[in-house]
Chain A
Amino acid sequence: MARVVVDVMLKPEILDPQGQAVQRALPRLGFEGISDVRQGKRFELEVDGPVDEAALARIHDLAESFLANTVIEDFIVKVESEEAAAGAAK
Chain B
Amino acid sequence: MTARIGVVTFPGSLDDRDTQRAIRLAGAEPVALWHKDKNLHQVDAVVLCGGFSYGDYLRAGAIARFSPVMETVIEQAKAGLPVLGICNGFQILTEAHLLPGAMLGNDHLHFICRDQKLRVENAGTAWTADYEAGQEIHIPLKNMDGRYVADEHTLDKLEAEGRVVFRYLDVNPNGSLRDIAGITNEAGNVVGLMPHPEHAVEPLVGSGRTDGLPFFTSILKKLVNA
Size of interface on A: residues with Cβ below 8 Å to B = 11
List chain B residues, Cβ under 8 A from A18. Answer: 105, 109
List chain A residues, Cβ under 8 A from B159. Answer: none
Known: A67-B58, A69-B59, A72-B149. A17 touches B105 (CB 8 A): yes
Residue in chain B with minimal CB distance to A71:
B102
A47, CB-defined interface residue at 8 Å = no
List chain B residues, Cβ under 8 A from A69. Answer: 59, 62, 95, 102
B175, CB-defined interface residue at 8 Å = yes
Interface flags for B129-158 (1: CB within 8 Å of A; 0: not) read 000000000000000000101100000000
Interface size of B as a range: 10 to 19
> Contact at B66–A72, with CB atoms within 8 Å?
no
List chain A residues, Cβ under 8 A from B107. Answer: 15, 17
> Contact at B62–A66, with CB atoms within 8 Å?
yes
B108, CB-defined interface residue at 8 Å = yes
B55, CB-defined interface residue at 8 Å = no
List chain A residues, Cβ under 8 A from B149. Answer: 14, 71-72
> Contact at B62–A15, with CB atoms within 8 Å?
no
**Complex CA distance for A14 and B104, rounded to whole angstroms:** 10
> Contact at B109–A17, with CB atoms within 8 Å?
yes
- Kindly provide the distance from the CB of B172 to the nearest chain A CB, expressed in whole angstroms: 13
> Contact at B109–A66, with CB atoms within 8 Å?
no
B101, CB-defined interface residue at 8 Å = yes
**Complex CA distance for A10 and B147, rounded to whole angstroms:** 14
List chain B residues, Cβ under 8 A from A21. Answer: 109
- Give the one of A17, A18, A21 with max B CB within 10 A: A17
User: Can you identify 7 A-B contacts, CB atoms within 8 angstroms?
Assistant: A10-B104, A15-B104, A15-B107, A17-B107, A66-B58, A66-B66, A72-B102
8 shortest interchain CB distances as A-B pairs? A71-B102, A72-B102, A17-B107, A17-B109, A69-B102, A69-B59, A72-B149, A21-B109
Given contacts A18-B105, A66-B66, A67-B58, 6 further A-B contacts (CB under 8 A): A14-B104, A17-B109, A17-B175, A69-B59, A71-B101, A72-B104
